[in-house]
Amino acid sequence: MISLAGRRLLVTGGSRGIGRATALLAAQAGADVGVLYHTRRAEADTVARAIRAMGRRAFLGGGDLADADRVAQLMSEVRAAFGGLDGLVVNHGIWPATETSLARMAPERWRRTMAADLDSVFLVTRAALGLMDTGGRVVMVASTAAQRGEAFHADYAAAKGAMVALVKSLAVECAPGITVNAVAPGWVATEMTTTALAGDAGERAAAGIPLGRVASAEDVAGPILFLLSDLARHVTGEILNVNGGSVLCG
Ligand SMILES: NC(=O)c1ccc[n+]([C@@H]2O[C@H](COP(=O)([O-])OP(=O)(O)OC[C@H]3O[C@@H](n4cnc5c(N)ncnc54)[C@H](OP(=O)(O)O)[C@@H]3O)[C@@H](O)[C@H]2O)c1
Query: What is the per-residue pLDDT across 168-227, written as a single tens digit (0 to 9) for each?
Result: 999 999 999 999 999 999 999 999 999 999 999 999 999 999 999 999 999 999 999 999
Residue 89 in domain: yes
Residue 215 Cβ < 6 Å to ligand 1: no
Q: What does the CA dihedral 195, 16, 12, 159 come to, rounded to 10 degrees? A: -10
Would 155 be classed as within a structural domain?
yes
150 contacts 159 by C-beta, under 8 angstroms: no
Is 247 a domain residue?
no
Average pLDDT, integer, range 145-161: 98
For 137, the domain range is 8-242
- Locate the ligand 1 atom nearest the alpha carbon of residue 12 and give its number: 34
Strand bridging mode 85-90 / 132-141: parallel
192 lines ligand 1 (CB under 6 A): yes
Residue 249: inside a domain, yes or no? no
59 lines ligand 1 (CB under 6 A): no
Mean of pLDDT values over 127-141: 98
CA distances from 24 to 68, 217, 228 (A): 27, 11, 14
Mean pLDDT of the chain: 98
- The residue type found at 191 is E
Per-residue confidence band for 1, with pLDDT thresholds at 50, 70 and 90: confident
| Ligand 1 centre distance from Cα of residue 95 (Å) | 8
Q: Which of 123, 156, 180, 214 is catalytic?
A: 156
Tell me, yes or no, if 156 is annotated catalytic: yes
Number of domain units in the chain? 1
Q: Judge whether 78 lies within some domain.
A: yes
Tens digits of residue pLDDT in 96-115: 999 999 999 999 999 999 99
CATH code of residue 65: 3.40.50.720
* pLDDT, tens digit (0-9, with 9 covering 90-100), for 16-56: 999 999 999 999 999 999 999 999 999 999 999 999 999 99
pLDDT for the residue numbered 250:
64
CB of residue 213 inside a 6 A radius of ligand 1 = no
Is the pLDDT assigned to residue 129 strictly greater than 90? yes
C-alpha R_g of the chain: 17
- Kindly report, residue by residue over 65-93, the tens digit of the pLDDT: 999 999 999 999 999 999 999 999 999 99
In a domain, 195, yes or no: yes
Cis peptide before 176 (omega within 30 of 0): yes
Within a domain: residue 250? Answer: no
Tell whether 173 is covered by a domain: yes
| Mutate-to-test residue for ligand 1 from 88, 91, 119, 139, highest number of ligand atoms within 8 A of CB | 91
